[in-house]
């Protein structure tokens, strides 16, 4: 069924290679019509996961029509988190055994630019209006029988920041952003439906991280579905996903127990390995529960014997201090290169790798 996804660069690269290189039959295939799947109520799992049989793709590989647009925005989007979340979201309706993956080919750069501009049209007290829409990412799913477009996923990246009628900068509450995101999604679906009237569409809202946040990614806040032949989003479902930086005052205030556990882990490693600059972590919370913790340890030098001893010691401390229900990723590095990784899944055997160069 599902295997825990290891988020190291080495493993993400392997995932992308599988997506690009998965073969498809070169024999002629009849153009028989496949009934459109009924979208299921989408869900996001507690740990970022991908199926062991990843989506294959058709050749030649086509890139997204909106590629490169994010470079012109002031917002920072954790693109890998966004992409993998959309793929995970899609598997509830478009199974890897029945569908190929293709980067979005329906939504154009001009359309996204127009949607963003429409959001910003008008003025507030003589000042330019601030819209919530930052970007739209499309993923397509093609039937393996016909190689025709049979499903779409649209990821709407939203910012909660806005300027009120007095020109003051404000932030929408999660509930307000969800409500405005639903209104925005309804307009986008109407536009997309012009060319894809019979294709089921899944919608996912993604809140971008704060502008001053360089380590904590954005998070998903809501999902919805559009059935084939319909142009109305239904089955809206809130998603309770949060990310916190360890150590920080924010996580200390909201999740004191997990904060204390991380502080103890830092003290133990610093006591036995003082040459390490320190530990930082990013925790993923689903429905108020820590489900995934990614830890980065930075060393001042790269003695392989010390790296090995440190990784083994840190792994033992993690198993002692961090609950077994939490998926843990440990990355040991210098300022310029990786040294080792340790992955402890919630089920199955832990994995450790020491880089030789």
| CATH number of the CATH domain containing 74 | 3.10.570.10
> Which of the pair, 25 or 203, is modelled with greater confidence?
203
Residue 68 and residue 198 in one domain = yes
**Within 10 Å of residue 243's Cβ, how many Cβ atoms?**
20
Domain end position, chosen among 239, 263, 279: 239
Whether the pLDDT of residue 23 is over 80: the answer is no
pLDDT at 346 > cutoff 70: yes
Quote the pLDDT of residue 215. Answer: 80
**291 closest CA partner among 247, 238, 237, 255:** 255
- Residue 65 has a pLDDT of 83
Of 172, 177, 163, 231, residue with least CA distance to 205: 177
Report the DSSP pairing between strands 169-171 and 351-354. unpaired
Q: Which residue has the higher pLDDT, 262 or 6?
A: 262
- 331: domain CATH number? 3.30.300.190
Same structural domain, 220 and 291 = no
Q: What percent of the chain has a predicted confidence (pLDDT) above 90?
A: 57
Q: What is residue 238's predicted lDDT score, i.e. its pLDDT?
A: 94
pLDDT of residue 11: 41
**How many structural domains comprise the chain?**
2
DSSP letter (8 states) at residue 65: T
Same domain, 147 and 264: no
CA-to-CA dists, residue 113 to 3, 119, 190, 298, angstroms: 37, 10, 16, 40
Quick one: pLDDT band at residue 128, thresholds 50, 70, 90? low
Q: Is the pLDDT of residue 34 over 80?
A: no
Q: Does position 14 have pLDDT exceeding 60, yes or no?
A: no
- Domain extent at residue 317: 243-354
Q: Which pLDDT value is given to residue 37?
A: 67
**72 and 45 in a common domain:** yes
Judgement on whether residues 229 and 252 belong to the same structural domain of the protein: no
Same-domain status, 33 and 173 = yes
Kindly indicate the confidence band of residue 79, based on its pLDDT and cuts at 50, 70 and 90: confident
On the question of pLDDT at 345 being above 60, the answer is yes
Question: Is residue 16 predicted with pLDDT exceeding 80?
Answer: no
- Domain end among 224, 239, 254: 239
Identify whether residues 28 and 128 lie together within a single domain. yes
Taking only the tens place, the pLDDT of each residue in 214-272 is: 688 899 999 999 999 999 998 899 999 999 999 999 999 999 999 999 999 999 998 88
**Same domain for 120 and 10:** yes
Does residue 93 carry a pLDDT above 70?
A: yes
pLDDT digits (tens, 9 = 90+) for 155-193: 999 999 988 878 888 999 999 999 999 999 999 999 999
pLDDT at residue number 239: 93
User: What is the per-residue pLDDT for 4?
Assistant: 39
**% of the chain at pLDDT higher than 70:** 79
Same domain for 25 and 141, yes or no, is yes
Mean pLDDT of all residues in the chain? 83
Quick check: 225 and 201 in contact, CB under 8 A? Answer: yes
Predicted local confidence at residue 52, as pLDDT: 53
Cα 123 to Cα 118, 163, 178, 222, 224: the distances in Å are 12, 10, 23, 28, 31
Cβ proximity of 315 and 331 under 8 Å: no
pLDDT tens string 35-50: 666 666 555 555 444 4
Q: 230 and 316 share a domain?
A: no
Same domain, residue pair 63 and 195? yes
Which of 194, 224, 239 corresponds to the end of one domain? Answer: 239
Residues 217 and 260 placed together within one structural domain of the fold: no
């Amino acid at each position: 069924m599902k295997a825990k996804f290891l988020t190291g660069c080495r493993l993400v690269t392997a995932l992308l290679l599988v997506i690009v290189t998965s073969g498809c039959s070169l024999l002629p295939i009849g153009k028989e019509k496949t009934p459109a799947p009924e979208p299921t109520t989408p869900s996001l799992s507690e740990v970022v996961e991908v199926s062991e049989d990843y989506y294959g793709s058709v050749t030649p590989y086509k890139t997204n029509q909106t590629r490169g647009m994010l470079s012109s925005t002031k917002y920072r989007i954790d693109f890998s988190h966004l992409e993998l979340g959309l793929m995970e979201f899609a598997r509830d309706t478009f199974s890897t055994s029945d569908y190929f993956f293709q980067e979005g080919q329906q939504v154009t750069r001009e359309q996204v630019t127009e949607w963003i501009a429409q959001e910003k049209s008008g003025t507030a007290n003589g000042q330019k209006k601030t819209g919530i829409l930052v970007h739209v990412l499309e993923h397509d799913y093609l039937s393996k029988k016909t190689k025709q477009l049979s499903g779409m996923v649209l990821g709407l990246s939203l910012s909660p920041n806005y300027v009120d009628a007095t020109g003051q900068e404000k932030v929408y509450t999660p509930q307000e952003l969800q409500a405005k995101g639903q209104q925005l999604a309804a307009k986008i679906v109407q536009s997309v439906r012009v060319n894809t009237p019979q294709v089921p569409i899944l919608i996912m809202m993604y809140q971008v991280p704060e502008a001053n946040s360089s380590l904590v990614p954005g998070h998903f806040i809501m999902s919805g579905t559009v059935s084939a032949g319909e142009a109305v989003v239904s089955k809206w479902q809130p998603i309770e996903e949060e990310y916190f930086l360890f150590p920080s005052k924010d996580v200390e205030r909201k999740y004191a127990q997990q904060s204390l556990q991380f502080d103890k882990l830092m003290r133990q490693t610093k006591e036995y390995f003082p040459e390490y600059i320190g530990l930082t972590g990013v925790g993923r919370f689903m429905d108020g529960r820590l489900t995934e913790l990614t830890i980065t340890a930075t060393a001042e030098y790269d003695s392989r014997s010390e790296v090995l001893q440190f990784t083994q010691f840190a792994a033992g401390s993690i198993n002692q201090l961090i609950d077994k229900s939490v998926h843990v990723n440990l990355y040991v590095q210098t300022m310029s290169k990786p040294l080792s990784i340790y992955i402890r899944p919630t089920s199955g055997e832990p994995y450790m790798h020491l880089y030789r160069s």
